[in-house]
Chains A and B, each alone.
Chain A
Amino acid sequence: MVCVVYSALLHCLTGQIVQVEADISDGMPGMELVGFLGSEVKEARERVRMAIKNCGFPMPLRRITLNLSPANIRKYGTGFDLPMAVAILQAMGQIPQEATEKAVFFGELNLSGAVTSINGVLPLALCAKKAGFQRCFVPAANAAEAVLAEDMEVYPVSSLHTLMNHLTGTERIHCCKQDVDLSSKSPAYEYDLKYVQGQPIARRGLEIAAAGLHNIVMIGEPGAGKSMLSKCLPSILPPLNTEECLEVSSIYSVAGQLQEGCGLMRERPFVSPHHTVTEVAMTGGGIYPRGGLIALAHKGVLFLDEMPEFKRDALECLRQPLEDREIRINRSSGSYTYPADFMLVGAMNPCPCGAYPDRKRCNCTSTQRRRYLERLSKPLMDRIDICIEVRNVAYEELISDKRQEDSETVRKRVANAQEIQFARFKRAQFNARMSREQIETYCRLDGGCEKIMERSFETYRLSARGYYRVLKVARTIADLDGEDTIREAHLIEALHFRYADLLAEWKGV
């Protein structure tokens, strides 16, 4: 008799239900696995056999055949150990047929029969829910993720033994309850703006960037506080809403980077790779590409410290995701797409030594400076909305007791601006992601503003892209002020935060 147990397979973030079939028939004793299996799935043969034996069920001296269907999709990952074991046990007649109905199983087995955690439980559970399953058996360590798929009965499984007890009705496993409130209080942040002394303009720029999720670049001397400021960024970013929360958590679940037991990403991710990072680490790679740093920064911040020191390839690969808000990876096995709607935050020095334009300390020649700045390509920097300068803080400022505004106050303003934006676009969208059409609708300029725009076109030699960028930032500044229309002051501030071409002085005398 063929026994069928269900599990699922991930393709990027979307799941596909996989049917695990087991049959025991006469023949040479042994176990045959079929169904286009990756090597880790083939290896499951030994794990499953030993786990079943060590749970006290002697393997029958008959031929066992397992098939993972659909057989035209390659199976990978270790999550199929548990459904395979359950299917065999059911075929052995140890589990009643109805016990596995409307249920999916995920989990890796140890030889002892213990069930260990796997990656991607959250998107797998979401997929099972969508396919109409009602019960979900997951490794105990991953249970917190699985409960986020609402209306599913989630059973944390710590070993094959307890699962058998449950399925045979000897001792039930307690169903997991969703104990995380998605709209719960904000988490504690490690860095807070109240520890940043001075820098009023840089703080303001950071606030605007956070409110509209604008790409931002910080230019300043070494030690001026660029990294400190950007580390404060998570503490002022608007919170993730439920939809975003699930999406981000799914990505982290697949990457196996969810913190154990918490199951949910409630903060916007802050990804800060070292400047030696490779292109593949950024985009994601492998035969079955896993999400790279770009995907992990989805709905959050990708912080590139010492931006000109990054490899050219690693930077240039950001261009497409910055435009399309997703990253596509093509392999012979197919095309893989991960969401990548991130905010790019860069930090750099104005010149190799960092002291420019203070000529008393800066000895860099113009050629050195040009070479340094030329490492950042124009098309990439064209996508930067805000550019701020971070200055060295004076000693008096550094030791002053003046209370600086803390992150919570800023976060409240940012959250207000976020609400205005969501209400305007009627969905979770930020100003930085406005389309041309939306810009024309929501960024209308009155006469005075138009005059300013006209003059700045000449003075600053704005490009068409630059023009729209300024409008988007002006919209965010107006939102922070809670105003419907963009006023002159908003526009002027946006103009001052624009990214001016630092290489302009070398283009013609």
Chain B
Amino acid sequence: MKQAARNKEYDLWWAMSAEAGIRSVQLCNKAGGSESLFLMDKGELLDLGVSEKGAEHIIYRRKTWDYEKQRRILLEEGIRFVPWYDRQYPKRLLQASGYPFALFVKGELPDETAPAVALIGARECSEYGRLCAEYFGRELAACGVNVISGMAIGIDGITQQSALAAGGKSYAVLGCGPDICYPPANRNLYGLLAGNGGLISEYGPRVKAVAWHFPARNRIIAGLSDVVIVVEAKAKSGTLITADMALDAGREVLVVPGRITDPMSVGCMNLWKTGASPAMCVEDVLDVLAENKKMQTCDVGKQTAVLDEEPEQALESEEKLVYSCVDLYARSTEDILERTGLSYQDLLRILTELEFKGLIRETGRGYYVRATG
């Protein structure tokens, strides 16, 4: 009993000092446990294969280590410490290479029995990307799928927001301690996720978001999910790292097709070309999940449409005309004026009416897009 407790103390130290190198589990095993790591001097650490800088860091963290303080912080913040050998540690993650030594969790961990899908994409998304992220987030959550993402601006946040709005559960893997909300703009979402899902990180509390944390946390996003969907990605995008990691971990990668001329979709289309399957509707995703025996084929009930065409029926002819001119890509008032041939005053009246009806919205000064959800 005492042994186990002591172990946990050293493990917590190791989880917080190793700062989530992908080799932290390996090193710990090689050294024969975190306790012996704690007792090693610099030479021994170097012999183990730790870099000079890494060894210095470990020694520094050892000198400043205060177990009681860290335990108190975990308690105060409501963060659980889940090392890799813990029963609660996600099984899916253990199958992935380079799984983290331990997870820090605020809220809960994804249910092992429920299917999990990661939706990832660019921070700088287009309106089309926003629409697709909302669609997949909403529909997958409605089918009982856990939605996993990174709570970033753009696709990540939008997906998780709409999954939660549909009454589902969503889990965010962070690049900072789970007690920190990064990016701060998503504070609202952060609060919701803590209640209806979880905030997961391999970094302990009080660890700030650093650029190199993010590619590392992507492997956890891939590891926690059965299927990874890339919604939107430019030719060079961090999202593609996650896709690579997902393929390495043996996960199915789906891409949302875009237009071949759209720079925001080049990354997706390249993935498609190299073997990823397209995800054109939620059924595509469910099929893949069923194939992998992750879930029974789920009858969605009605055919779900990405873009709701229904409102168009209820519009007057002029409104229909204007609505048909407004696209998912921002279009300026003058453009619409030219296309519809309406008078300026009529157009303004109709645009206002459509805005009131929630069918379109102004995205930049004088630019309109179809509103989605």
Contacts and interface: CB of A to CB of B under 8 A. Distances in A.
Interface residues of B, number: 34
Contact of A350 (B154, B333, B348, B364): B364
Nearest to B186: A509
A219 B332 CA distance: 13
Nearest to A507: B185
A500 B365 contact: yes
A117 to B, nearest CB: 47
Nearest to A387: B365
B137 to A, nearest CB: 11
A365 B123 contact: yes
Contacts of A350: 364-365
Given A201-B333, A391-B334, A357 B363 contact: yes
A187 interface: no
A508 B187 CA distance: 7
Nearest to A205: B366
A509 B345 contact: no
A496 B186 contact: no
Contact of B356 (A204, A356, A456, A496): A456
A500 to B, nearest CB: 6
Interface in B302-319: none
Contacts, number: 80
Interface in A350-396: 350, 356-360, 365-367, 387-389, 391
B154 A496 contact: no
A406 interface: no
A13 to B, nearest CB: 38
B356 A459 contact: yes
B188 interface: yes
B349 A492 contact: yes
Interface residues of A, number: 33
Interface in B273-318: none
Contact of A357 (B185, B355, B364): B364
A398 interface: no
Nearest to B126: A359
Given A200-B334, A357-B330, A365-B123, A489 B345 contact: yes
B366 A389 contact: yes
Given A496-B348, A508-B188, A366 B123 contact: yes
Contacts of A456: 352, 356
Interface of A: 200-201, 204, 219, 350, 356-360, 365-367, 387-389, 391, 452, 455-456, 459, 488-489, 492-493, 495-496, 500, 502, 506-509
Given A350-B364, A493-B348, A496-B352, 17 more contacts: A201-B334, A201-B337, A219-B365, A350-B365, A357-B364, A358-B330, A359-B263, A359-B264, A366-B124, A388-B366, A389-B333, A391-B366, A459-B358, A489-B349, A492-B352, A496-B348, A508-B185
